[in-house]
Structure 1
């Protein structure tokens, strides 16, 4: 267990990491060793680590690991191959202090030492005049530290960063995740490329349940019906399209059931009539003639008896 690495990630993780990437890096640091900084082999497939990451999908875990590698906080020690698990290493995040710089105004060997190291580190990085009234920079730059009373404000995230954070929201509801996973599975079962479950998918699934009042069972049956249809399976391949076409799919399914159900009072369904062959027609006519001859003979006998 890497307690030192875990604290290092909490204190020195780069600001460029998203909150989900920072959380995954903290989980990796907890499983790594402090001396080697190497994570446990096969962390991307460990069920306990996946639960701690709050990333049930394997593709989501690989996506975050790739982002951490691209941002320079995680490196691959050995790639995963058949029979071998991938091993990752957390790079050093804390910046080490450089060599102490001597005071240019002090004479070498004078025996007069400068301020202590702790005092030099805590010295505020501001420019101010030691005497006289405070002079302000006529053109101060925002966050430059040229003004003694200026306080650096926290940076406001850009719209692109905010949109990226929204796209990386983890699944928060089991019912939403269930319908999204079912639609993705059925699309893949039909031979198409498995779609990626995005934040837009989960938003539309949540609205379909909460705003439109559809139950999970109704949504699952609608997914099965449209993916079994040769026409609708190519027109409904995402959760936004399913919500858009849900009422159309429901009406089409009802129409199909009504056509298949027998009409009231119609009695049992009869097989369709078949056209007789010429031989069957002749045989039927001969049978009718024989029946007529039999009836005529029986009638004549009755007349003779009287």
Structure 2
């Protein structure tokens, strides 16, 4: 008899077909609540979800045979880890499977905001390019020689740093602790990093402990020529403070792939010309998706074979 899995969000169709080869698959669910559980949920042994959805004590308690929560991506912020630990429920995620894809997208957002690529596109489409004078739009500082501050030098942050080296940027970072294996400038506070940096990239794992870590003070420290890029989670940035900073010139611009209340995006953000907005797609490259799926399958195979998870999360 195949083990029963519950898919909370709808996963890619081809991946669903692969899962069904070895497992009985239920879902997706309209909401991640006990009331939305499908028929047969009492047999569920593994829950497939994403970090932005709530996997709380009530949902886990409604699944009496649940032994594994497996997150499709790297995020785990929606999982009640204390309850999972108390119940003896294992937790797995995608590890660094999508790190390369997310890092390259972060560089795309960095270029888009710092070099004003979307504004340039709109400039051409509006018919404002009238001749071949050297100065068509106001010049911008560029990236070479500028300081890139990375908040969270993990699997994604370290890849961003290596790519930024190719743009001849000076690199600094803030982590919970200094990384002896990395040659970059360490800052012992996020505020200090922002004060030093010209561009601040948020790549820290977001949870309750760093909610609104990027606040009005951090944005002020980044300064009127500074840019913010966020490919982590929207919760890490105080969105009201960011809107105010962009509206008043406290910072020059931002590139955002994540938002505080997804999929809702603030009308204040959408009204601004100095922010680039994308729909949480940093990990949406074919290679990143394939790697995430292989990691989830590996976690499931290992778990049901009684072996350690491929990508476990400590509880």
Tell me if TM exceeds 0.5: no
Structure with the higher strand share, 1 or 2: 2
Report 1 or 2 for greater relative contact order, CA contacts < 8 Å, sequence distance ≥ 6.
2
TM-score, normalised to structure 2's length? 0.18
